[in-house]
Amino acid sequence: MGAANTPEVFLSYARSAEPQAKRIAEALEGLGYDVWWDEDLPAHRAYTEVIEERLKSAKAVLVVWSADAAKSEWVRAEADVARHSHKLVQLSIDGSLPPMPFNQIQCPSLRGWDGSTDERTWIKIEASLAELVRGERRMIAHDAAGDISAPATGPTICVLPFINMSGDPEQEYFSDGITEDLITDLSKVSALGVVARNTSFTYKGQSVEARALGRDLNVSHMLEGSVRKSGTRLRFTAQLIDTATGHHLWAERYDRELADIFDIQDEISKAIVDALKVQLLPSEQQAIEKRGTDNAEAYNLYLMARQHWVAGSDGDWDREELIIRICERAIDIDPDYAHAWALMAIAQTHIRFRQGRREVDGLPSAERALQLDPNLAEAHAVKSWYLLEQNRPDLADEEIATALRLDPESWEVNRVAGKVLFLQERLTEAVACYEKAAELMKDDYSAVGMMVCCYRALGDQANWRRAAQTNIDRIERTVARNPRDAAAYANAVGSLTALGQLDRAKEWAERAIEMDPHNYLLKYNIACAYVLDLHDYEGALDLIEGSLGNLGCDHVRHALADPDLAAVRDHPRFTKMIADARQRLGQ
C-alpha cells in the first residue's frame, strides 16, 4: 500500500486499532489517494528513520484516535509534527476525545463505521484530506443536526428560526419545530449546503443583517420568516435573501389551515430549490415528502411534546408525564407515528430509571417505534439503556453503536450514549458523547454537568475548569428565564465548588433544597460537591440517603460508578445504603 517515497496521506494509529486503520486505508486508496502506514515498513531500514521520512514528506497526516492512541507516545508525537506543519486531520473510532492540545481541533467520530465512503462523517474527513492533498476546497453541506450530508460546490443557506407571531409564547414550539423541519428538508438536497440547526438557532431572537451573516457563516443565502398560528388557521411568511447583496430572491405569504402544513413546507422547499436553480433528484423529493405522519394534528402534538422535552428541566418529573400524555394523544390520532412512539419511550424510560418507578416501561414503545421505522436512532438508544439494566452490556453497546451510526448528531442519542458509557465507567468515551450533546443543545446544562464529573475523574484539569465555567454560564441563563428551576441551581453547585466559589455554592444548594425538598436527584447532585470540595462526608450521606432509598436500580448503578463519590464508597453508611437499596429492588 502507498507510494514508495512521497505518500499523500500518512496514517497514524494505535496497534489495537489496526483493523479500523486498514479499513480507512483501503477506503482512501479506493478514492485514489496514496496512503502510507506502518504495514508498508521496508525490512532493510530503521523503523524510526522511515517513520520520520514519511511523516515529513506526506501532504496530510490522518490520526486515528482511540483510548489506546491517546496513551501512545508515538501517536501523540506524530500528531504533534502534523499539527505544527499544518497538515493534521483527525478522527475518533471509539468516541474518545484527543488529548490536549489536539482536543482543540475538530475530530469527527467514525465509531461503528462500516467502510462506506458515502457516510456523512467520512465525507467530511475526506473533504479535509482533499483540500490538503489535492487543493480541492469544498463547501460542506450540513444536515439538520449539524453533521455532513454531502460536499456542496453550489449555494449554501442558513435557515434562521422563524419568528412566532401568534402573540402567545406557548406557541413557540410550533415556529421552532417548523424551522427544524425546513432545515431537515433542505439538508436532503445534495446540491445545497445547509447550516446546522445548533448554529442557526444561536441567532434566535436577534435582528440579523444578511451580509453580516454571509460573512460570519460563509453562506450565500439565508431564509427567514414568521409563523402566526390561531386555532387551526396559519399564516406563514418566508423570504430568501442573497447574503452578498442583501436582495430578496423570493418571498411569499401563505394563509392556510393547519391541515395544509405539510403542503406549505413542501412549497417553501421547492420554491427555494427553484430560486437557487439547484437540481432536486427524485429520491430527494421523496425524502422531503416523507413526514412520518400525514395527520397535521398528530404532527402538531408531536412538536408540542418535543418542545417540552427540549426546553424542560431534568428535575421536573411533571415534564415526563406531560410528554407521555401528549404523545399518547398523537398516537391515538395516528397509531403509526414512529417519532411519537420514540419520544414517549424516552420519557417513560426517564421515569422508570431516574425516578425509580419500575411500573413505567418504555421498552414496548421503543420496540413499536422500531417496527414502524427500524432506522429511528432514539429508539435504539432507549433499547441500549434497558439492555444495560438487564446486565447485557455487549448488546447494550451494539444498540448504542447502532444509534450513533444512524444519527451521530442526535442530542437525545448522545445523551443516552453518555449515560450508558458512564454507567460502565468508560469515562473517556462518555465525555465525548456529553460534549456532543452539549454542543447540539446550547441550553443543556445537565450534559455539561456530567462533563465536569468525567473530566475531573480523568485528571484533565483544563477541560474540567472549562466545563465548570460553561455549566455555570448556562445555568445562569436558565435561572434568569425560570428562577424556580431548583434542579438547575443544584446542578451548578459542583461547578461552583470546583472553581472555588464556596459561599455561592452553599447559597445555591440551600436555595435548591428549599425550593424542591423532595427532589432526590437534586440532593444527590449537591452531595457530590459535599464529598469532593467541602469534604463533608456525613452531610453528603444525609443527602444521598433519600435517593438510594427511593430511586431505582439505574440510580444504584450510577452511585456505584460515580467517581465523585469515591471518597465515601467504603463508608459503612454508604455500603449499608447500597445493600438496603438492592434488597428493596430485588437485586
What domains appear along the chain, each with residue ranges and CATH number? 9-137 (3.40.50.10140), 142-291 (3.40.50.10610), 293-374 (1.25.40.10), 442-587 (1.25.40.10)
User: Residue 282 pLDDT > 70, yes or no?
Assistant: no
What is the pLDDT, as a whole number, of residue 81? 86
Mean pLDDT of 75-102: 81
* Separation CA 344–CA 369 (nearest Å): 10
Q: Annotate 279-329 with three-state secondary structure.
A: CCCHHHHHHHHCCCCCCHHHHHHHHHHHHHHHHCCCCCHHHHHHHHHHHHH
pLDDT digits (tens, 9 = 90+) for 474-496: 999 888 888 888 889 999 999 99
What b-and-e string marks burial along 229-241, b requiring 16 or more CB atoms within 10 Å of the CB? beeeebebbbebb
Of the pLDDT bands very low, low, confident and very high (cuts 50, 70, 90), residue 354 is confident
CB 476 within 8 A of CB 508: no
Where does the pLDDT of residue 146 fall: very low under 50, low under 70, confident under 90, or very high at 90 and above?
very low
Confidence check: pLDDT of 100 > 70: no
Under DSSP, the state recorded for 221 is E
pLDDT at 283 (0 to 100): 63
Cell numbers linked to 1: 500500500
- Mean pLDDT calculated for residue range 337-365: 88
Q: Are 559 and 550 in contact (CB under 8 A)?
A: no
Q: What is the pLDDT of residue 48?
A: 66
| % residues pLDDT > 70 (the chain) | 89
Those residues whose C-beta lies under 8 Å from the C-beta of residue 460, and which sit 6 or more positions away, are 100
Say what percent of the chain tops pLDDT 90. Answer: 21
- Split at pLDDT 50, 70, 90, the class of 3 is very low
pLDDT of 391 above 50: yes
Contact 385, 396 (CB under 8 A): yes
> What is the pTM assigned to this prediction?
0.68
- In this prediction, residue 511 has a pLDDT band, given cuts at 50, 70 and 90, of very high
pLDDT at 336: 94
CA 328, CA 343: separation in Å to the nearest integer?
10
Q: What is the mean pLDDT of the chain?
A: 83
Average pLDDT (466-479) is: 90
**Range in 60-74, 121-135, 241-255 with the lowest mean pLDDT:** 121-135
Band the pLDDT of 149: cuts 50, 70, 90: very low
Instruction: Say how far apart CA 548 and CA 581 lie, in whole Å.
Output: 6
pLDDT attached to residue 383: 94
Confidence class of residue 44 from pLDDT cuts 50, 70 and 90? very low
Q: Would you state the cell numbers that stand for residue 533, as one nine-digit string?
A: 470540595
pLDDT over 50 at 2, yes or no: no
**Does 150 have pLDDT greater than 60?**
no
What is the DSSP code (8-state) at residue 109? B
- Tell me if the bond preceding 101 is cis, omega within 30° of 0: yes
Instruction: Give the pLDDT band (50/70/90) at residue 94.
Output: confident
Q: What is the 3-state secondary structure (H, E, C) of 116-151?
A: CCCCHHHHHHHHHHHHHHHCCCCEEEECCCCCEEEE
Query: With 60 as the cut, is the pLDDT of residue 451 above it?
Result: yes
Residue 243 contacts residue 220 (beta carbons within 8 Å):
yes
Maximum alpha-carbon separation in the chain: 80
The C-alpha atoms of residue 231 and residue 421 are separated, in whole angstroms, by 44
Mean pLDDT, rounded, for 246-269: 84
Pairing of the two strands 221-230 and 233-242: antiparallel
CA 110 distance to own-chain centroid = 14
Q: Reply yes or no on whether the pLDDT at 37 is more than 80.
A: no
| DSSP label at residue 472 | H
Confidence (pLDDT) at 140: 47
Task: Provide the 3-class DSSP secondary structure of residue 230.
Answer: strand
Please give the pLDDT value at position 104: 55
How many angstroms separate the CA atoms of 238 and 340, rounded? 28
pLDDT tens per residue, range 164-182: 888 777 778 888 888 888 8
18-30 and 120-134 helices, crossing angle to 10°: 60
Which of residues 145 and 537 earns the better pLDDT score? 537
The predicted structure's pLDDT at residue 381: 93
- Half-sphere exposure at residue 71, Cβ-oriented, CA atoms within 13 angstroms: 7
Task: Give mean pLDDT, residues 251-277.
Answer: 83
For the record, the C-alpha cell of 278 comes out as 439547484
pLDDT band at 205 (very low <50, low <70, confident <90, very high): confident
Please determine, for residue 46, whether its predicted confidence score (pLDDT) is greater than 60. Answer: no
Q: Average pLDDT in the 442-449 region?
A: 88
What pLDDT, on a 0 to 100 scale, did the predictor assign at position 47?
53
Give pLDDT, residue 115: 79
How far is the C-alpha of 215 from the C-alpha of 100, rounded, in Å? 30
pLDDT at residue number 208: 85
Cα 293 to Cα 300: distance, rounded to the nearest angstrom: 11
Residue pair 127/91 in contact by the 8 Å Cβ criterion: no
